[in-house]
Amino acid sequence: MTTLTNLLDFDPAQLVAYCAGLGEKPFRAKQLQRWIHQFGAADFDSMTDLAKSLRDKLKTRAEIRSPSVISDNTSTDGTRKWLVDVGNGNAVETVFIPEENRGTLCISTQAGCAVNCRFCSTGKQGFNRNLTVSEIIGQLWMAEFELRRTKGIEPGPKGERQITNVVMMGMGEPLLNFEPTVTALKLMLDDNAYGLSRRRVTLSTSGVVPMMDKLSQEVPVALAVSLHASNDALRDGLVPLNKKYPLRDLMAACKRYLAFAPRDFITFEYCMLDGVNDTDEHARELLALVNDPVLGVSCKFNLIPFNPFPESGLLRSKNPRIKGFAQVLMDGGLVTTIRKTRGDDIDAACGQLAGEVQDRTRVQERMEKMDEYKKKFGANFGRIVEIAS
């Protein structure tokens, strides 16, 4: 029996090469790609502008198959979480966070995670395997067209796009599954697929320094770095990868990345842990770190209230402490946001699935407004903070 080739595994250049192998011209690959990624088509017979001979070839050799959905839950706040089957008893989670004028999808890149950050429940499951391209981009393909079906919106470029932003912040460390992640990113950005702006795709990493450099050369998207500590001794205990790539190396890599990034800042994510990393002294250490004449990097901070789970032995910082910590950072001139908790009732909140599921859907809007105001009123105009009520 012939093994069918899953066309969701191919980036634009690879699809052109695949079609060439079938004796087809490059424009056929573009047509095929639009059918798959803009119309959500999985049936070759529905691809009406492809020659029948090509459709017949594809039917015997290829398929379009995303991972199957095990469960599909919607939170009271509209957050929607799919549990997706990736075989051999492994499942990953994909989370959609709706807001008034945009929708963000949080995508997983690995089943489990090998980084084993102390505050992340996913890491406690251990690492199972890397996801394939079709399993990564398949989450976007499935979610976009499922959201359209739910709302009665037609597939294709005329139908209103449901997912405007993607964050690679689900299960796993994306940079430890580099090639499939990069291939999926290329599809997200391609105009004949999802056509997302590089500014609207964010990859979150715990700091895999060599791969950060590689990403900057291959497909530099917006970057978020899971920092979570203000010094090496503390970070060694919270993010074990720090022993391999300590803060000095990580900051230097962030600085190098900014030369190629679509934004002129790095987002540092900081999980607020009661009595562990949340004192004013820690905040002052962070200011010294990011403002260091040699190591310093243009950045903003996203403070994440910890979602406790029994095995961690950790507690969430109290709200007044989080606000006090944010105030120290803001008084030091850093743009600082506090993440609102989303999807708690369906366990879709940060750390309950994938290390970091962020509600970052309005951050870009705020930053753009801030730039506008600074141009108008001067560089010192205002500082922004979002406080969860």
Domain CATH number, residue 260: 3.20.20.70
Give me the phi and psi of 384, to 5 degrees please.
-105, 140
Residues of the domain holding 16: 5-63
Residue 197 lies in a domain: yes
pLDDT at 134: 96
Indicate if 58 and 77 belong to the same structural domain: no
- Residue 309, both tokens: 């789970």
The residue out of 24, 44, 63 marking a domain boundary is 63
Residue 180 lies in a domain: yes
The residue out of 43, 63, 83 marking a domain boundary is 63
Burial class of residue 246 in the structure, from the number of CB atoms within 10 Å of its CB (0-12 exposed, 13-18 middle, 19+ buried): middle
Indicate if 75 and 47 belong to the same structural domain: no
Closest Cα to residue 329, out of 388, 286, 279, 272? 286
CB 105 within 8 A of CB 167: yes
The residue out of 63, 82, 97 marking a domain boundary is 63
- Residue 161, both tokens: 């796009």
* Rg of the chain over all Cα atoms, to the nearest angstrom: 21
Domain count, the chain: 2
Indicate if 33 and 166 belong to the same structural domain: no
pLDDT at 159: 85
Indicate if 241 and 170 belong to the same structural domain: yes
Catalytic sites, residue numbers: 93, 350
pLDDT at 368: 55
Residue 383 lies in a domain: no
- Residue 338, both tokens: 């506090």
pLDDT at 379: 52
CB 270 within 8 A of CB 228: yes
DSSP of 29-41: HHHHHHHHHTT--
- 28: CATH: 1.10.150.530
Indicate if 10 and 85 belong to the same structural domain: no
- Residue 295, both tokens: 């190591």
pLDDT at 179: 97
Residue 385 lies in a domain: no
Q: How far apart are CA 212 and CA 215, in angstroms?
A: 5
Q: How far apart are CA 266 and CA 215, in angstroms?
A: 14
Q: How far apart are CA 328 and CA 83, in angstroms?
A: 39
- Residue 104, both tokens: 């963000």
Indicate if 93 and 203 belong to the same structural domain: yes
Indicate if 250 and 158 belong to the same structural domain: yes
- Residue 273, both tokens: 């842990």
Give the contacts of 210 (CB within 8 A, at least 6 positions apart): none
pLDDT at 158: 85
- pLDDT values of the chain reduced to their tens digit, one per residue, 389 residues: 679 999 999 999 999 999 999 999 999 999 999 999 999 999 999 999 999 999 999 999 999 999 999 999 988 888 999 999 988 888 899 999 998 888 999 999 999 888 888 888 877 777 889 999 999 999 999 999 999 999 999 888 888 889 999 999 989 999 999 999 999 999 999 999 999 999 999 999 999 999 999 999 999 999 999 999 999 999 999 999 999 999 999 999 999 999 999 999 999 999 999 999 999 999 999 999 999 999 899 999 999 999 887 888 889 999 999 999 999 999 999 999 998 766 565 554 544 443 333 333 333 444 455 466 556 555 544 433 333 33
Q: How many CB atoms lie within 10 A of CB 153?
A: 16
Give me the phi and psi of 237, to 5 degrees please.
-80, -25
Burial class of residue 322 in the structure, from the number of CB atoms within 10 Å of its CB (0-12 exposed, 13-18 middle, 19+ buried): buried
Q: How far apart are CA 331 and CA 287, in angstroms?
A: 10
Indicate if 230 and 365 belong to the same structural domain: yes
Residue 177 Cα distances to 181, 195, 219, angstroms: 6, 23, 14
Q: How far apart are CA 136 and CA 188, in angstroms?
A: 11
No. of helices (H) and no. of strands (E), the chain: 12, 14
Closest Cα to residue 210, out of 202, 222, 198, 218? 218
Residue 384 lies in a domain: no
Residue 17 lies in a domain: yes
Indicate if 128 and 156 belong to the same structural domain: yes
DSSP single-letter state for residue 45: G
Indicate if 86 and 58 belong to the same structural domain: no
Indicate if 51 and 77 belong to the same structural domain: no
For residue 95, the cross-strand partners are 81, 106
- Residue 217, both tokens: 């050369």
Indicate if 138 and 279 belong to the same structural domain: yes
Q: How far apart are CA 196 and CA 165, in angstroms?
A: 7
Please state whether 14 falls in left (phi above 0), alpha (psi between -120 and 50) or beta. Answer: alpha
> What's at 364, amino acid-wise?
Q
